[in-house]
Structure 1
Amino acid sequence: MADNNNSGNVVATTDSLDNSASTAKGGIPGGGSGNNSNSSAYTEARQLGETRVASFDFCDTLCPKAETAPIPFAYKDENVSLADAVRTWLNSLKEAKRLSPIRRLKRKVNDGDNANPLENASFGHSVAQPERQNEQRDDGSGAVRLVGLSKVKALLNPRHPWFADRQGELDGWRRYQCKEVARPVVAYPNLSLATDRLNPYKLSMKAVQSAMKSLRGLGDVLAENDVRDVKVLDLGLTFPGEITEWFMGRNHGFTRESEAEAWKLWREMWRKAVYNGRGKNRTEILPSLEGFLLNGKAGKLGCHANLHLWSTEKPWQAHWHFHVLAVNQSYAEGKFAEVGHYLEGERLEDLKRLWKVRLLGFASKHGIKVPSLKGKALPVVYFQYIDGSDRAKVVHKWQYVNRSPLEDFALYSNDKPGCPDPPDWLVDYDNRARAYGWFRELKAILGKEVYEALNEDEQVKTCPMCGGRMQPTGILANAELIPIADKGALYSLEWVRGNLRSVPLTRGDLAFLTDIPQGCLGKPVGCALG
């Protein structure tokens, strides 16, 4: 039973221990292994009442989500009753409710002090779920979620002739398991070394890794400082067509110098206000973008900016624009303070006018005529606020702005394989994010020792389910997928309308992964999740 009013925590109740089909999400059979000999202890455990258990979703800050947490009751010890083991474990978790991963690291506690007494139970027993009516059993014992299989299929071997010598190969799947919560194994593609550096899926993986490292660092800082009610401002600032054409017409279409000019314009807009007059008579007529968004708060604002040169729908077409991701928190004198900048009505018009003044100043400096901004016309500015608790949207947006342009070209050309080759400027462009404000100071805010301790393992990945840190547990060969699929335990984790879903694999999916013709596969693959 989940308590949706307690964001940031997973609420596990003893009602979730019920064996009935109504507890399809998180219910655990008594004993976990089908042995009911501990029924009296099981009843006693149920009488403990509602207990809140911290899951540290996205460092318990950016994506608090309430859901029923499975509690593994496979623990057996002749000297300790089941109820006592459960009570000890729940109390330790309750005590650690507000401890971020960083604080737990700082405390250097003995691993045995707050350990789950059930952690030595077999994985299959510890996450076992009850039978569900009219469905195959999915007890987690060997269930595997392949992360983003649809993207693998679309980008690993694109159809366009330009990608003929840039195809990719899978050498199996690298398995990971989250340390924070009991979940089935998730697996990421393990690319062959023969995969070309311009393979769009390889570029996509590189972009995702960079985005998640940035996001993980941000989450660590906010968790360490107990920052709540986080909102992400997603801002898009578009260049008018006349300036985009000027950018593209320079240096025979190669964009390095133009990129430098665009970033110079961005830095001036972010940091510098516009003044009238000199000396004592100087007055501010327009704030910097940072000052505008701070809305009167002291300190610095943090942001993550990307310059995109291409159109998503038509990647070969130039469409210059900035993507900016900021957090509604100012940082001053070692403390964070919430900023109430809501771009609605006149405030949004003010932001457009601010961007227009900068654009017209840039155009005047370089002798560019911009008839599209004459009179009261305003440039295109896009914005939305993403609630920090909506982890799926935050992660998706962070990855979206960091993606390679060749990823978009591969998707476009899959539908139109007869389209022209990608232009050189699109192939050469390296879409790198740049940090500004306190986003550049994450290491200093956390402290060097803590920062290095959290980032010492380069193999760490962010759990797509809870946001915790995961460690690799080995490689799963493509051929090993067939028996897992035959047991109905193979799924793909996909972003569906902004939410992470477990999607059952089709025979076509399995044929793609194993190079086995669809007609040779006998059994249906996977089963739908509740």
Structure 2
Amino acid sequence: MSEWAVVKISRRQVMWKELGRPFLDGLEDILGPGLGADTNYHTWSSECPLKPHSHFHNLVANLRVVEAGVLDEDDRPACTMEEIPWHRQRGGKDVPLDDLQLVDAKKLWWRLLAAFVKKRRIEWDPGTEEEGWKGIDVWVEPRDTKAAMMGTINYVGRNPLEDFAVYSNSHPDCPDPPGWLQKYSNKSRPFGWWLSLRSLAGSQKEEREKLHPLTGDRLDYLGKYSLRELLDRNHGRLGFLDVVKGRPVFSCLDRWEMEWLRSVMKSRAPPWWDDDE
């Protein structure tokens, strides 16, 4: 399945639509509605990024959205957050799924995998419905602090080339990263109330005040721009500010420097790259 998924970019979207999203929908049937989750689908192995290894990282909060029993200012049912209780095993360990829920989660994932490989004639024997799900391992690692949670979110959302950089330092003779790894956009996919995380937290637009490096005038904050968006707004020209003997000097990148920049950009080059100006 891992080799199948990296052949075409469109297949990675299929993995989410037929495996990632349905699993979270089914998890709501098991744990109850109102869940919030964030998912990253990885196509590579952390230990060896040159090897395809399809797997999902699901960050599921132990909070659900429920009705608060009152009406909001628009006379609609207001909602609040409710903690999802964990279950204590016979050995005294607290776990998010009781025994029955654990079996249901394993069967859910097994059924999704079995249907997926059968539909696409991928060579894999899922076993019988009575026994196949028993080979599914469920691994849960709680995040008890904000720092641990934010660290995990950043880790699962990392660029795959970060893993390749670490790997290539240990294996200097390794080949260049394959195209499917270089072109992969490891975007997260929010689910449930995680889609409305900012509005639920009541967050406001952060006030940012910056001063012009040359004139000292106040600059208006317009938002964050990616490198490509910045180049699009500046018609393909990119400059930099340097300080020489205490005086600011502004220069533009020459064509050779722009060519190098184009070679390291992850996204498709915009149309003005071929211009001579």
2:85 to 331, 340, 345: 340
In structure 2, give the amino acid aligned to 1:386.
R
1:305 matched residue in structure 2: 39
Q: Is there any run of 5+ residues in structure 2 with no aligned partner, and where?
A: 68-78, 87-95, 211-242, 244-277
2:119 to 348, 365, 371: 365
| 1:348 shift after superposition | 2.9
Q: In the aligned structure 2, how far is the partner of 1:305 from the partner of 1:417? A: 32
In structure 2, give the amino acid aligned to 1:433.
S
Q: In the aligned structure 1, how far is the partner of 2:208 from the partner of 2:49? A: 36
Q: Deviations over 1:455-474 (max 9, x none)?
A: 34399xxxxxxxxxxxxxxx
2:167 to 401, 412, 415: 412
Change (3 A) 1:392 1:444: closer
In structure 2, give the amino acid aligned to 1:267.
R
Change (3 A) 1:245 1:306: same
Q: In the aligned structure 2, how far is the partner of 1:307 from the partner of 1:456? A: 33
Q: In the aligned structure 2, how far is the partner of 1:381 from the partner of 1:419? A: 33
Q: In the aligned structure 2, how far is the partner of 1:263 from the partner of 1:405? A: 18
Q: Deviations over 1:468-521 (max 9, x none)?
A: xxxxxxxxx9xxxxxxxxxxxxxxxxxxxxxxxxxxxxxxxxxxxxxxxxxxxx
2:105 to 351, 367, 386: 351
1:293 to 27, 31, 50: 31
1:270 to 3, 24, 29: 24
1:431 matched residue in structure 2: 186
**Is the 2:30–2:101 Cα contact (8 Å) retained in structure 1?**
no
| 1:366 shift after superposition | 1.9
Q: Deviations over 1:251-301 (max 9, x none)?
A: xx2x31111111111222322xxxxxxxxxxxxxxxx1223233xxxx411
Change (3 A) 1:268 1:346: closer
**CA RMSD for the aligned pairs?**
2.3
**Is the 2:50–2:178 Cα contact (8 Å) retained in structure 1?**
yes
Q: In the aligned structure 2, how far is the partner of 1:428 from the partner of 1:312? A: 17
Change (3 A) 1:381 1:245: farther
In structure 2, give the amino acid aligned to 1:316.
L
Change (3 A) 1:344 1:385: farther
Q: Deviations over 1:31-73 (max 9, x none)?
A: xxxxxxxxxxxxxxxxxxxxxxxxxxxxxxxxxxxxxxxxxxx
Q: In the aligned structure 1, how far is the partner of 2:157 from the partner of 2:141? A: 18
Q: Deviations over 1:114-171 (max 9, x none)?
A: xxxxxxxxxxxxxxxxxxxxxxxxxxxxxxxxxxxxxxxxxxxxxxxxxxxxxxxxxx
Q: Secondary structure at the match of 1:397?
A: helix
1:260 matched residue in structure 2: 13
In structure 2, give the amino acid aligned to 1:306.
N
Change (3 A) 1:432 1:399: same
Q: Secondary structure at the match of 1:325?
A: strand
Q: In the aligned structure 2, how far is the partner of 1:310 from the partner of 1:317? A: 6
Count residues with an aligned counterpart.
186
The answer to whether the aligner puts 1:385 opposite 2:142 as a matched pair is yes
In structure 1, give the amino acid aligned to 2:109.
W
Q: TM-score, normalised by structure 1?
A: 0.33
Q: In the aligned structure 2, how far is the partner of 1:270 from the partner of 1:337? A: 18
Q: In the aligned structure 2, how far is the partner of 1:416 from the partner of 1:369? A: 31
Q: TM-score, normalised by structure 2?
A: 0.61
Q: In the aligned structure 2, how far is the partner of 1:398 from the partner of 1:406? A: 17
Larger Cα Rg: Structure 1 or Structure 2?
1
Q: In the aligned structure 2, how far is the partner of 1:417 from the partner of 1:346? A: 49
Q: Deviations over 1:71-118 (max 9, x none)?
A: xxxxxxxxxxxxxxxxxxxxxxxxxxxxxxxxxxxxxxxxxxxxxxxx
Q: In the aligned structure 2, how far is the partner of 1:426 from the partner of 1:458? A: 38
In structure 2, give the amino acid aligned to 1:382.
W
Q: Secondary structure at the match of 2:203?
A: helix
| 1:436 shift after superposition | 0.7
| 1:351 shift after superposition | 1.5
Q: Is there any run of 5+ residues in structure 1 with no aligned partner, and where?
A: 1-242, 272-287, 460-476, 478-530
| 1:356 shift after superposition | 0.3
2:58 matched residue in structure 1: 324
Q: In the aligned structure 1, how far is the partner of 2:118 from the partner of 2:27? A: 20
1:184 matched residue in structure 2: none
Change (3 A) 1:456 1:430: farther
Matches within 5 A, 1:168-207: none
Matches within 5 A, 1:415-494: 415-446=170-201, 450-453=202-205, 455-457=206-208
Change (3 A) 1:458 1:426: farther
Change (3 A) 1:314 1:331: same
Q: Secondary structure at the match of 1:384?
A: coil
Change (3 A) 1:458 1:309: farther
